[in-house]
C-alpha cells in the first residue's frame, strides 16, 4: 500500500514577511531616489550662475529644508497608504475613511516637520562652523539632493512600520524639536520672563512654528488615540484589564487632550486670551483626571504603574505650588514642567501597555506546553 500523500499547505501571508520587507526597502529606495532627482533639478535651476551660502536667505539649507518637508510629506502619505496590508498593519483597513485620512496625514506631517527642522539645524550649524563659506551650483545641488533623498528614504520606511511605541517616541521628539526650534529662533530674548505662550505671539516665523507645532501635535495626540485604543483592547482580550470600556474611556481622554492642545495653537494668547487659557487649563485638568482615575479605569495594570501615576501627579501639583503661592519660579518654568511631564507620561504609559501585552502573549503561548506529552506518559 502506497503511503498517503498530503497536499502542500497554502502559503501563510505571514511567511512572506521577508519578501514584503524587501519590497518596502525597494520602494523606499526608489521613492528617495525620485525625491533626490526632483529636488536636484529644482536646486540646479535655482542655484545656476552663482555661489550660495549654506544658510541665510535663499540658501542651500532653505531649499533642502523645503524639499525635506514637501517630499517627506508626499512619501509619508504614499508609504502609509501602501503599507496598510503589511503584517501587523492590517487593522488600518477597519478604520473609517476620515479616520484613516487623519491618521495618514498627521503621521506624515509629523515626520516631514521633524525632518525639515533637523535639516535647518544641520545647515545652520554647518554655516556657523564654516563661517563665510559659499558653494557653487554643483555642490549646492548635490547637498540638496542627498538631503531630500535620505529624508524620503527614512520617512517611507518609518511610516511603513508604525507601532504605538514608535508613535509615542515620535510624539515626544516632535514636540521637543519644534519647541526648542521656536525657543532658539524667538526674536524676543526675554520671552521666558512672561510665560510659555509668549512664543506664539510675535507674528514671525518662530511664533508660526510654535503655533503650528501645537496644532499638529494636538492632531497627533488625537490620532494617537487610535493606537492606544487598539492596544488596550488587546489587554481586555487577554484578561488584563477588568473593565471592557476602559479602552474607549482612555481614547476619549486622549482625543479631548489633543483637541485642547490644538486649540492652544489655533488661538494664540494675543488672538483670544480667554479661549487660549481655557484650552491650556482644560488640557492640564483632563490629564490630572486621567492620572487620578487610572487605578479604577485601568484596573488590572501592574501596581508599579499606578505608583508612577501617583508620583507624576504629585510632581505636577508640587510644581504648581512652587509657582503659586511659593513663587520659587515663574509661570514659564511651571508650564515647561507640565509640558514635559504630560508627554513623558504618555511615553512611559505606552511602554507599560506594550510590556504588559507582551507578557500576556507569552503566558498564553506557554500554556499548551504544560500539558503532558502522551508518549512520555505511555
Out of 119, 140, 162, pick the residue that ends a domain: 162
**CA 175 – CA 117 distance, rounded (Å):** 11
Strand partners, 53: 134
User: What predicted TM-score, i.e. pTM, was given to this entire model?
Assistant: 0.76
- Does 311 have pLDDT greater than 80? yes
Q: What are phi and psi of 367, to 5 degrees?
A: -60, -45
Residue 95 domain flag: yes
Residue span of the structural domain in which 48 resides: 20-162
The answer to whether residues 31 and 121 belong to one domain is yes
User: Does residue 40 fall inside a structural domain?
Assistant: yes
Q: What are the residues whose beta carbons fall under 8 Å from the beta carbon of 4, sequence distance 6 or more?
A: none
Choose the final residue of a domain: 95, 127, 162. Answer: 162
8 in any annotated domain = no
pLDDT given at position 375 = 39
68 and 151 Cβ atoms separated by less than 8 Å: yes
Residue of 326, 218, 188, 206 whose CA lies nearest to 282: 218
Instruction: Place 363 in a pLDDT band, splitting at 50, 70 and 90.
Output: low
**173-197: pLDDT as tens digits:** 888 888 888 887 777 777 777 777 7
In eight-state DSSP terms, residue 370 is G
Q: Is residue 255 part of a domain?
A: yes
Average pLDDT, the chain: 83
Are 31 and 119 part of one and the same domain?
Answer: yes
Phi-psi region of 88 (alpha: psi -120 to 50; beta: other; left: phi over 0): left
Do 104 and 202 lie in a common domain?
no
The length of the chain, given as a count of residues: 378
114 and 140, same domain (yes or no): yes
Residue 350 covered by a domain: yes
Question: Are 123 and 55 within one domain?
Answer: yes
Written as nine digits, the cell of 132 is 563665510
E-strand ranges in the chain read: 52-53, 134-135
Quick one: 203 and 130 in the same domain? no
Three-state SS string across 263-275, please? HHHHCCCCCCHHH
User: Rounded to the nearest 5°, which phi and psi values hold at 135?
Assistant: -125, 155
| Residue 279 belongs to some domain of the structure | yes
* 228 and 349 assigned to the same domain: yes
pLDDT at residue 374, rounded to an integer? 40
Give residue-wise pLDDT tens across range 33-63.
Answer: 999 999 999 999 999 988 999 988 889 999 9
Most confident region among 14-23, 62-71, 161-170, 261-270 by mean pLDDT: 62-71
DSSP at 161: T
Q: How many domains does the chain have?
A: 2
Cβ 140 vs Cβ 61: under 8 Å: no
Pairwise pLDDT comparison (331 vs 351), residue with the higher score: 351
> Is 222 domain-assigned?
yes
Contact of 145 with 36, CB cutoff 8 Å: yes
HSE, side-chain direction, 13 A CA sphere, residue 304: 6
Are 197 and 144 members of one domain?
no
> Both 142 and 172 in a single domain?
no
**Which among 129, 162, 195 is the end of a domain?**
162
**Pair 48, 137: CB distance under 8 Å:** yes
Angle between helix axes 331-366 and 164-185 (nearest 10 degrees) is 170
Q: Looking at the structure, do residues 268 and 143 belong to the same domain, yes or no? A: no
List b or e across 7-36, with b for residues whose CB sees 16 or more CB atoms inside 10 angstroms: eeeeeeeeeeeeebeeebeebbeebbebbb
pLDDT at position 300 over 60: yes
pLDDT of residue 361: 60
Count Cβ atoms within 10 A of the Cβ of residue 138 and give its class: 0-12 exposed, 13-18 middle, 19 or more buried: exposed
User: Would you state the torsion angle of the CA atoms of residues 191, 192, 194, 195, taken in this order, to the nearest 10 degrees?
Assistant: 110
What is the distance in angstroms between the CA of the first residue and the CA of the last residue of the chain? 29
Asked if residues 171 and 345 have their Cβ atoms less than 8 Å apart, the reply is: no
Confidence category of residue 147, pLDDT binned at 50, 70, 90: very high
What is the Cα 39 distance to its own chain's centre? 26
Amino acid at each position: 500500500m502506497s503511503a498517503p500523500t498530503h497536499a502542500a499547505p497554502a502559503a501563510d501571508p505571514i511567511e512572506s514577511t521577508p519578501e514584503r520587507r524587501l519590497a518596502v526597502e525597494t520602494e523606499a529606495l526608489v521613492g528617495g531616489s525620485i525625491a533626490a532627482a526632483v529636488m536636484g533639478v529644482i536646486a540646479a535651476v535655482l542655484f545656476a550662475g552663482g555661489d550660495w551660502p549654506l544658510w541665510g536667505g535663499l540658501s542651500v539649507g532653505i531649499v533642502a529644508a523645503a524639499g525635506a518637508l514637501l517630499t517627506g510629506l508626499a512619501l509619508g502619505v504614499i508609504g502609509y497608504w501602501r503599507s496598510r496590508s503589511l503584517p501587523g498593519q492590517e487593522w488600518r483597513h477597519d478604520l473609517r475613511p476620515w479616520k484613516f485620512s487623519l491618521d495618514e496625514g498627521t503621521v506624515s506631517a509629523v515626520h516631514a516637520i521633524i525632518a525639515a527642522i533637523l535639516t535647518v539645524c544641520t545647515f545652520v550649524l554647518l554655516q556657523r562652523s564654516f563661517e563665510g563659506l559659499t558653494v557653487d551650483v554643483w555642490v549646492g545641488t548635490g547637498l540638496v539632493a542627498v538631503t531630500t533623498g535620505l529624508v524620503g528614504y527614512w520617512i517611507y520606511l518609518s511610516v511603513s512600520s508604525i507601532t504605538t511605541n514608535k508613535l509615542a517616541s515620535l510624539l515626544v521628539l516632535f514636540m521637543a524639536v519644534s519647541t526648542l526650534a521656536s525657543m532658539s529662533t524667538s526674536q524676543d530674548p526675554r520671552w521666558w520672563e512672561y510665560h510659555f505662550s509668549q512664543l506664539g505671539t510675535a507674528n514671525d516665523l518662530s511664533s508660526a512654528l510654535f503655533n503650528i507645532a501645537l496644532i499638529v501635535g494636538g492632531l497627533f495626540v488625537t490620532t494617537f488615540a487610535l493606537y492606544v485604543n487598539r492596544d488596550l483592547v488587546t489587554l481586555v482580550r487577554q484578561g488584563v484589564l477588568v473593565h471592557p470600556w476602559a479602552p474607549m474611556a482612555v481614547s476619549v481622554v486622549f482625543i479631548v487632550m489633543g483637541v485642547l492642545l490644538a486649540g492652544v495653537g489655533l488661538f494664540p494668547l494675543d488672538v483670544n486670551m480667554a479661549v487660549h487659557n481655557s484650552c491650556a487649563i482644560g488640557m492640564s485638568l483632563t490629564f490630572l483626571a486621567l492620572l487620578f482615575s487610572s487605578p479604577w479605569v485601568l484596573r488590572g495594570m501592574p501596581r508599579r504603574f499606578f505608583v508612577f501615576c501617583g508620583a507624576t501627579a504629585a510632581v505636577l501639583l508640587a510644581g504648581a505650588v512652587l509657582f503659586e503661592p511659593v513663587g520659587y519660579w515663574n509661570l514659564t518654568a511651571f508650564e515647561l514642567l507640565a509640558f514635559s511631564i504630560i508627554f513623558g507620561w504618555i511615553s512611559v504609559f505606552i511602554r507599560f501597555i506594550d510590556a504588559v501585552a507582551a507578557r500576556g502573549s507569552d503566558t498564553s503561548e506557554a500554556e499548551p506546553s504544560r500539558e503532558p506529552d502522551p508518549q512520555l506518559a505511555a
